[in-house]
Amino acid sequence: MTIALRRRLLAEFTGTALLVTAVVGSGIMATTLSPDDVGLQLLENSVATAFALGALILIFGPVSGAHLNPVVSVADWFLGRSAGTGLTGRDLAGYVAAQTLGAIGGSILANLMFDLAAVDFAAKDRAAGHLWLGEVVATTGLILLIFALARSGRAPVAPAAVGAYIGAAYWFTSSTSFANPAVTIGRAFTDTFAGISPASVPGFVAAQLVGLAVGICLLTALHPDAGTAADQVVAPTGERDPVLGHRP
């Protein structure tokens, strides 16, 4: 049974909004609780983000797959074309729009929760080659992880695995692992710990797209049949039959 596109788009919008709310909100809280320790701030921000991401995949995965990330959706569409799985072109356009709007809304929500201006464009400059390289690495690893899980039939562990990867990538990449064009755009709308200046957004998004391309190339080399599992990305979708108790 195919879940209606409007329901899947609502899930992608809401899930991405809550993800950015968690990223931005935990960053604001971290700077409030640990104003003089940047390392502790990053730890608090990364732990909250990792746990929130895992929980959001559990919530929205059964509806939309909980992509919450345009590069994941593009990879799902691209790899699934030959196998007749994954997103259609129409689905992809809707997913990317919902994710981007959700990310902006999530940043605004976090600002309002902490009594800040609803929109306050970030002043934090993140335009540098080593940061872009960090985004390529973070995005490549994310794509490899998600599709390797789906291809090997381990998609049910995606909430823990993806959350753990993003939490770890906060620390092992120079960019603190945005790895998500929608989240990058959303984070431009808050001048707080997690913010990125609008002028730095294009460089980050370009690096993420390079990471997407590298990830797809590696996947096709390592797992030529990865596209057959596109329907299981990030978490299995489809409704359970009310009588039989399983997905039709």
Q: Is 148 within a domain?
A: yes
Question: For 235, phi and psi rounded to 5 degrees?
Answer: -120, 150
Number of domains in the chain: 1
Ordered per-residue pLDDT tens for the chain, 248 residues: 579 999 999 999 999 999 999 999 999 999 999 999 999 999 999 999 999 999 999 999 999 999 999 999 999 999 998 788 889 999 999 999 999 999 999 999 999 999 999 999 999 999 999 999 999 999 999 999 999 999 888 988 999 999 999 999 999 999 999 999 999 999 999 999 999 999 999 999 999 999 999 999 999 999 888 888 888 888 766 544 333 333 33
Q: Is 248 within a domain?
A: no
Token digits for 222? Answer: 């390592």
Q: Is 240 within a domain?
A: no
Q: Is 237 within a domain?
A: no
Domain with 93 in it: 5-232
* CATH at residue 174: 1.20.1080.10
User: If you count them, how many residues does the chain have?
Assistant: 248
The overall longest dimension of the chain from CA atoms, in Å, is 57
Q: Is 185 within a domain?
A: yes
**Helices 70-80 and 89-113 sit at what angle, rounded to 10 degrees?**
170
Q: Is 98 within a domain?
A: yes
Q: Is 241 within a domain?
A: no
Q: Is 239 within a domain?
A: no
Contact 139, 98 (CB under 8 A): no
